[in-house]
């Protein structure tokens, strides 16, 4: 039988929930909430270059979501680099 893994936390370990991770999580939740709240965009007007609001609103969120996902990624990567630098 193998020995059970150690469960005691190390004293120098930084917390898992950090402000940058919270901001990253919020950046990922915003598009989800915006797309699930259908009543906010289920209409035809205002039109944009002849395209009903329902369609161009969703297409705009494709680009907004890409931007927010990039921000979340950069925040988490920066934190990981800082953590590795502190551990060295």
Mean pLDDT for back-to-back runs of 10 residues, the chain (88 residues): 61 72 93 89 84 90 96 92 79
- Residues near 1 by beta carbon (within 8 Å), at least 6 away in sequence: none
Given CA atoms 62, 74, 12, 26 in this order, what sign does their dihedral have?
A: negative
Domain range holding 45? 19-87
Q: Which two tokens stand for residue 56?
A: 């161009």
pLDDT at position 15 is 62
pLDDT at position 40 is 82
DSSP three-state, residue 84: helix
Say if 2 falls within a structural domain. Answer: no
Say if 55 falls within a structural domain. Answer: yes
pLDDT at position 43 is 79
Whether residue 64 contacts residue 31, with contact meaning beta carbons closer than 8 Å, is answered with yes
Number of domains in the chain: 1
DSSP three-state, residue 51: strand
Say if 24 falls within a structural domain. Answer: yes
Say if 5 falls within a structural domain. Answer: no
């Amino acid at each position: 039988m193998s020995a059970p893994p150690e469960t005691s936390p190390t004293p120098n370990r930084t917390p898992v929930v950090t402000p940058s991770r919270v901001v990253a999580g919020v950046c990922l939740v915003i598009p989800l909430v915006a797309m699930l709240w259908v009543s906010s965009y289920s209409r035809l007007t205002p039109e944009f270059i002849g395209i009903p609001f329902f369609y161009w609103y969703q297409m705009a969120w494709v680009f907004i979501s890409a931007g927010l996902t990039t921000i979340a990624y950069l925040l988490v990567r920066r934190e990981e680099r800082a953590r590795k630098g502190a551990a060295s």
